[in-house]
Amino acid sequence: MRNTHKFGRMTIPMLIILYLAFTIHVTLANNYVPTEKILLNCGGASNGSDTDGRKWTTDIGSKYLSTSRKTIASQAATQEPSVPQVPCMTARVFYTNFTYKIPVVPGRKFVRLYFYPVSYAGLNVFDGIFSVTVGSYTLLNNFSAAQTAEALNFAFLVKEYSVNVDGQTLDISFIPSAKAPKAYAFVNGIEIVSMPDIYSSIDGTLKIVGQNSAFYIGNNTALENVYRLNVGGNHIPPSQDTGLDRTWYNDVPYVYGFAFGVTYSADLDTNMTIQYPPSIPSYVAPIDVYATARSMGPNSQVNLNYNLTWIFSVDSGFAYLVRLHFCEIQVYMTMVNQRVFDIFLYNQTAEQGVDVIALARGESGADKQIGVPVYMDYVVLVPNGSPQQDLWLELHPNVHTQPNYYDAILNGVEIFKINGTNGTLAGPNPIPAPRVDVFSPISYIPSSGDYKTKIRKAIVIGGICGGIILAIVIGFFLIAASHCQHGKNSSVRDVPSKCHQDLEQGFTKNLCRRFSFVEITVATKNFDEALLLGVGGFGKVYRGEIDGGATPVAIKRGNPLSDQGVHEFQTEIEILSKVRHHHLVSLIGYCEDSCEMILVYDYMAHGTLREHLYKTPKSPLPWKQRLEICIGAAHGLYYLHTGAKQTIIHRDVKTTNILLDEKWVAKVSDFGLSKIGPTMDKTHVTTVVKGSYGYLDPEYLLLQQLTEKSDVYSFGVVLFEIICARPVLNRTLPEEQVSLVEWVAHCHEKGILDQIIDPYLKGKIAPECFKQFTEIAMKCVADQSIDRPSMDEVTWNLEFSLQLQRNAEESNEGISEIHIKEEPFVPHKWRKNLDASPSFDGCGHLFSQEVMSQKLNVGHLWTGFF
Ligand SMILES: *[C@@H]1O[C@H](CO)[C@@H](O)[C@H](O)[C@H]1NC(C)=O
Ligand SMILES: *[C@@H]1O[C@H](CO)[C@@H](O)[C@H](O)[C@H]1NC(C)=O
Ligand SMILES: *[C@@H]1O[C@H](CO)[C@@H](O)[C@H](O)[C@H]1NC(C)=O
Ligand SMILES: *[C@@H]1O[C@H](CO)[C@@H](O)[C@H](O)[C@H]1NC(C)=O
Ligand SMILES: *[C@@H]1O[C@H](CO)[C@@H](O)[C@H](O)[C@H]1NC(C)=O
Ligand SMILES: *[C@@H]1O[C@H](CO)[C@@H](O)[C@H](O)[C@H]1NC(C)=O
Ligand SMILES: *[C@@H]1O[C@H](CO)[C@@H](O)[C@H](O)[C@H]1NC(C)=O
Ligand SMILES: *[C@@H]1O[C@H](CO)[C@@H](O)[C@H](O)[C@H]1NC(C)=O
Ligand SMILES: *[C@@H]1O[C@H](CO)[C@@H](O)[C@H](O)[C@H]1NC(C)=O
C-alpha cells in the first residue's frame, strides 16, 4: 500500500472494502495443503489453541505415547509475560530415553520443537541437558534449553528442522545426557507439518560461495532453519504463511550499523500485483515477503560508498543454505539494467551483476517482470573456529554494468544449517554474555559513529536461531498491573516470581523483575527527597540503587489515586515488555505491592535532552553530539514504528522524553501515552487528543486520527528545538515568535533560518549539513501527514547530514560562517502535483515527482489506522 496514511481520511466501509479486496488478493495465491499437520501439546491436560489460533492436541492418551516409560506430564512452575499458554505452559519430562513414534506418509516434514526452560516437577532447570534425534539425524546434542535461552535473551525457544522420512513413522527421541548425573529431557510442543521439497537442489547444483564446485541437497539432507526474515516488512505469524506454518521475522535487528537503507512496500491498491512465475510455486514464500523490501537509499553517491549489510551469528563447522528472495515492486523499476548489484556472503562474492528484472524475465518468460518473485540459493561453508561466527550478507551496487540506479534490493532471506557428514545438526550451547546490567536489552545499534562490534555481537547472537521467538503476550501485564482494581486473586500474582528464582540461582532473567515495596524503599532511602530526579505527570522520579548498591536505577513512583496513572502504568509496562532497543529506555522491573505503581528503569546519568539545551547551567552540546543524539532518538522511534510486531506510536515525543545515558546515548522514554496498532477494531480509533502542546501534530489535533506521522511531526519540532535551543512555546516573545514551528517556517520561507539558530552553534555547522538537516526537519513538520517522511527516511537523512558535517570538518577548510542562500520555500507543494516538473536525485537520476514520492514511501499495510 503506498499511501498508508490515506487511511486517516477513509471511512470504515471504505476500509472494509479495501480489506476484503486485499484478502481476496492474498487468498488467490495457492497455499500448500499439508497432508499431515500434527501439533502436539506435550503434557497438556487438554486440547487448546495458541495465540495464532492454531489448534494443539494433548499428547496424553494419544497413540504416540504407547509405551509407559518413565515420563511425566508437568505444569510449568512459572509463566513469563511473553510466553504463550499453549503449548508452553505444560511439558513432558523424560527421565530416560523416550521415542515418540508418529505414523506419517513418507516425504519431507517440518519438525518444530518448543522449549520453555523453567522448572518442571521440581527439577532444576539447568539439569535439563539432553539430545534429540529424528531417525538417523541428531538435531540437538548436550542441549541446555535454559542456557541457550539465557544466552539469547529469549523466554522460550522454537527450533525448526526439515527432514525427509523414508518409512512409515517419524521417530523423535529425547535422550537425557549420560554425562550429567541428574540430567532429564523435556519438550513443550512438537509440530509436524508435511512440506513440499522446496529447499532441495533439483538438478543437484547449488553454488558454493567462493568455490568452483556444487553442493547437493537431496533426500538425505536434514536442514535446520536458523533465520527467516521478511526484509523491510512485518512479522508474519504461522497462520499467515503459505500453509507451511513458518514464521517470518522483521529484519531490523540484523541490519548492520547506521546504514539501514530504505524500506518499501508494493502498491497493491493500484495495478501492482505479485505474480509468481510458473517455475516458482506460490507457497515458496508469502506475498507479504515479496511485497516489502529494503534497498540502499535514494543517493547513489552514498550507496557507492557502503554495503547494505545484515549480520547473522551461526555455528562454526557447518555448511549453510542461504536463500535470498527478490521482487521488484516499485512501478518505475520495469526494465533490465535499472538496478544491478553484487551479493557478498561470508565476505566472498556470491554473485555479480544481479538484476532482479532480468531474473524475473528468465523465470516468467512473459513481458511482465515487475512484481514477479524470484529467489536464489547459495551454500556457504563456515569452517571450524570459535563456536559461533558472524555470517555477513552484503549488497553493493554493480558499477560495471552502469545501471540507471546505483542501488540494491532484498525482500526476504532464509538461512538453513545443513547436516554434517555424520547426520548431526547440533551445535554447542551458546555462552551467556556477562551481564552489564540486570536487564540487558537486545540492542543492536552502536551508540556512536564507530561501529562497536562487541555490541553487534551481543545482538547478533540474540538472533542465532531464526526459529526462536521472543513472543509477546499483551495480556499478562494488564492482568498483573490491574490487580489493584480486580482484587488479589489473579493467578499471576500467586506464582512465585521467575526473576527472583533466577536471582537465587545466580542468573538474572530478561523481561521483567518484580520488586517488593521493601526493596524499593531501601533503594530510594525511603523516597528521600534528596534523591528526587524530577516530577512528571505520572509521579515522582527518584534516583536509587539496587543489588546492594551495584546498579544505579531511576525509580518512578506513580500516584495510586489517579485513574490516568493506572492506565499509563499499564501502557508503559506493556510497551516496554514488547520492545528492546538500544535507543529506548529499558525497564528493569516494577513493584505493585500495596497498590503501589512503581517502575524501575536504567539510570540515565545525563538526564533529559532538554536540560542540555536551554535554561540550564550546563555547557552547550557540540553540534555533532546533538546530531548523534537526534540520530539515536530517530532510530528508537523508527524501531517503535516498524521493529515490533505491531506499530507503536509514541504520542509524546519531546526533548524531556529523550534521555541521555552516561555515554550520551539517546534513549526515548515515557510510553505512558503510547498506542499500539494497527488494528481493525473500531474502538481503537482515538478520539481524545493527548500529547504536549507545541509538539502536537495539527492534523491529529484537527481530525483526532493518530498515525505514526504524528510522532514524525513531534520529532521535527524536537529537531528545531535542538538547533534553535529555545522552548517550543515561549509566550514572552513577540506573537509571531511564540510558536517555534511557526517562527521556523516563517524564517525558512524568508531564507533566514540560519539567523535564529542557537548562537553557540553559529559558524560551527557546515552549510551542506545545515541544509540537509533543516530540509528534513521542515518535511517532518509539514501540515499534512501525507507530506511527512517516515522515521526511516528521517534517520537516513540525519545520518547523511552528520556525514556531511564530518566530511566538511575532515576536509579541514574550517567551517566558515553559515550563509545559506535558499530558494524560497514552497511548503508541501513538492509532492502534490504528480505530473509537475521532474526532479533529480543526488547523482543526476531523473525521477518524476510520482517516483520521488514512491521512493520515499516506506509504509506498511494498515499502519496508521486507529
Ligand atoms: C483432542 O483432539 C483430538 C483430535 O482433534 C481428539 O481426538 C481428542 O478427543 C481431543 N481430546 C480432548 C481431551 O479433548
Ligand atoms: C539411550 O540412547 C542412547 C543413544 O541412542 C544410548 O546410547 C543409550 O544406551 C540409551 N540408554 C538407554 C537406557 O536405553
Ligand atoms: C526423495 O524422496 C521422495 C519421497 O520420499 C521420492 O519421491 C523421491 O523419488 C526421492 N528422490 C530421490 C532422488 O531419491
Ligand atoms: C555440555 O553442555 C554443558 C553446558 O553448556 C557444557 O558445560 C559442557 O561442556 C558440554 N559438554 C560437551 C561434551 O559438549
Ligand atoms: C493500470 O493498468 C491499466 C491497464 O493495464 C492502465 O491503463 C493504467 O494506466 C494502469 N494504471 C496505473 C496507475 O498504472
Ligand atoms: C562490501 O563487501 C565486500 C565483501 O565483504 C568488501 O570486499 C567490500 O570492500 C565492501 N565494500 C564496502 C564499500 O564496504
Ligand atoms: C568480514 O568482514 C567484516 C568487516 O570487514 C569483518 O568484521 C569480519 O570479521 C569478516 N568476516 C570473516 C568471516 O572474515
Ligand atoms: C547428512 O546426513 C546424511 C545421513 O547421515 C548423510 O548421508 C549426508 O552425507 C549428510 N550430508 C552432508 C552434507 O554431510
Ligand atoms: C559428528 O560431527 C560433529 C561435528 O562435526 C562432532 O562434534 C561429533 O562428535 C560427530 N559425532 C560422531 C558420532 O562422530
Domains of the chain: 32-195 (2.60.120.430), 498-603 (3.30.200.20)
Q: Report how far ligand 8's centroid is from the alpha carbon of 419 (Å).
A: 6
Pull the grid cell for residue 72.
511425566
Strand partners for 206:
215
**Residue pair 558/567 in contact by the 8 Å Cβ criterion:** no
By alpha-carbon position, which residue is closest to atom 4 of ligand 6? 347
Q: Does the N-terminal peptide bond of residue 373 adopt cis geometry, omega within 30 degrees of 0?
A: no
With a cut of 60, say whether residue 675 has pLDDT above it.
yes
The contacts of residue 585 (CB under 8 Å, 6+ apart) are 576, 601, 602, 604, 659, 667, 668, 669
The answer to whether residues 218 and 249 touch, using CB atoms and an 8 Å cutoff, is no
Residue 392 bridge partners (DSSP):
311
**H or E element: which one contains 24?**
helix 12-28
Which residue has the least CA distance to atom 13 on ligand 1? Answer: 46
> Would you state the pLDDT for residue 510?
39
Does the model's pTM come out above 0.85? no
Query: What per-residue confidence (pLDDT) applies to 532?
Result: 82
Residue 287 has pLDDT above 60, yes or no: yes
Report how far residue 540's alpha carbon sits from residue 533's, in angstroms, rounded to the nearest whole number: 8
In the predicted structure, residue 677 carries a pLDDT above the cut 80: no
State how far the alpha carbon of 329 is from the alpha carbons of 306, 795, 816, in Å: 23, 23, 44
223-230 and 249-250 as β-strands: parallel, antiparallel, unpaired? parallel
The band of 635, judged by pLDDT with boundaries at 50, 70 and 90, is very high
- Those residues whose C-beta lies under 8 Å from the C-beta of residue 61, and which sit 6 or more positions away, are none
Binding site members for ATP: 556
Q: Is 96 in the pocket of ligand 2 (CB under 6 A)?
A: yes
H runs (alpha helix) in 669-790: 698-703, 708-724, 740-750, 767-780
Closest protein CA for atom 7 of ligand 6: 347
Give the integer Cα–Cα distance in Å for 46 and 55. 11
Distance 96 CA to ligand 2 centre (A): 8
> Hey, whose CA ends up nearest to atom 4 of ligand 3?
107
Residue 512's pLDDT is 65
Using CA positions, which residue lies closest to atom 12 of ligand 8? 421
Ligand 1 atom index nearest CA of 46 = 13
For ligand 1, which residues put their CB under 6 angstroms from it?
46-47, 57-58
Distance of CA 168 from the midpoint of ligand 8 (Å) = 21
Q: From the CA of 361, how far away is ligand 6's center (Å)?
A: 29
Say yes or no: CB of residue 271 within 6 Å of ligand 5.
Answer: yes
241 vs 244: CA distance, rounded Å: 6
Reference 860, options 285, 7, 276; nearest CA is 7
> How much distance in Å is there from the Cα of 309 to the middle of ligand 6?
10
By alpha-carbon position, which residue is closest to atom 9 of ligand 7?
390
Phi, psi angle pair for 194, to nearest 5°: -70, 145
Helical packing angle, 708-724 and 740-750, nearest 10°: 70
pLDDT of the residue at 721: 95
* Confidence bin at 66 (pLDDT 50/70/90): low
Using CA atoms, how far apart are residues 752 and 769, in angstroms rounded to an integer? Answer: 16
Ligand nearest to the CA of 165: 3
619 lines ligand 5 (CB under 6 A): no
> Residue 768 is which amino acid?
E
Q: Is 485 in the pocket of ligand 9 (CB under 6 A)?
A: no
What pLDDT does residue 413 have?
A: 98
Running DSSP on this structure, what letter comes out for residue 843?
T
The protein residue with its alpha carbon nearest to ligand 6, atom 1, reads 307
Task: Report whether pLDDT(845) > 60.
Answer: no
pLDDT of residue 622 exceeding 50: yes
791-810 and 708-724 helices cross at what angle (nearest 10)? 30
CA–CA gap between residue 127 and residue 492 (Å, rounded):
26
CA of 38 to the centre of ligand 1 (A): 12
Residue 508 has pLDDT above 50, yes or no: no
Say what the pLDDT of residue 258 is: 66
Distance 427 CA to ligand 7 centre (A): 21
Cα separation of 791 and 780, whole Å?
9
Residues 6+ apart with CB under 8 A from 588: 437, 438, 439, 513, 546, 551, 553, 600, 601, 602
114 band by pLDDT with thresholds 50, 70 and 90: very high
250 forms beta bridges with: 230
Other CB atoms within 10 Å distance of the CB of residue 537: 15
Tell me how far apart the alpha carbons of residues 529 and 567 are, in angstroms, rounded to a whole number.
26
CB atoms within 10 A of CB 361: 18
Per residue in 531-546, pLDDT (tens digit) is: 888 776 567 888 998 8
Q: Where do runs of H (alpha helix) occur along 468-562?
A: 475-481, 483-486, 491-494, 498-504, 517-523
3-state helix, strand, coil in the chain (%, to 5): 30, 25, 45
SS3 199: coil
Q: So what's the pLDDT on residue 602?
A: 87
Shortest-distance atom of ligand 7 to CA 391: 13
Question: From the alpha carbon of 349, which atom of ligand 6 is closest?
Answer: 4
Residue-averaged pLDDT of the chain: 77
Instruction: Note the ligand closest to the C-alpha atom of 834.
Output: 5
- Catalytic sites, residue numbers: 652
Among the bound ligands, the one closest to the CA of 146: 4
Q: Report whether residue 220 contacts ligand 3, using a CB cutoff of 6 Å.
A: no
Lowest-pLDDT range of 104-108, 527-531, 561-565, 776-780:
561-565
401-405, 637-641, 835-839: least confident range: 835-839
Question: For residue 591, what pLDDT band results from cuts at 50, 70 and 90?
Answer: confident
> What is the dihedral sign for C-alpha 746, 748, 754, 759?
positive
CB-CB contact of 608 with 621 (8 Å): no
Catalogue the long-range contacts made by 813-821 (C-beta closer than 8 Å, 24 or more residues apart): 815/763, 815/764, 815/765, 815/766, 816/763, 816/767, 817/762, 817/763, 818/754, 818/762, 818/763, 818/765, 818/767, 818/770, 819/754, 819/767, 820/751, 820/753, 820/754, 820/767, 820/770, 820/771, 821/751
Question: Which ligand 8 atom is nearest residue 220's CA?
Answer: 3
Ligand that comes closest to the CA of residue 39: 1
C-alpha 623, offset from chain centre: 29
Ligand 4 pocket (Cβ < 6 Å) reads 142, 144, 147, 429
Ordered strands of the 308-315 beta sheet:
308-315, 388-397, 341-345, 348-354
3 state SS of 591: strand
Q: What is the pLDDT averaged over residues 367-384?
A: 90
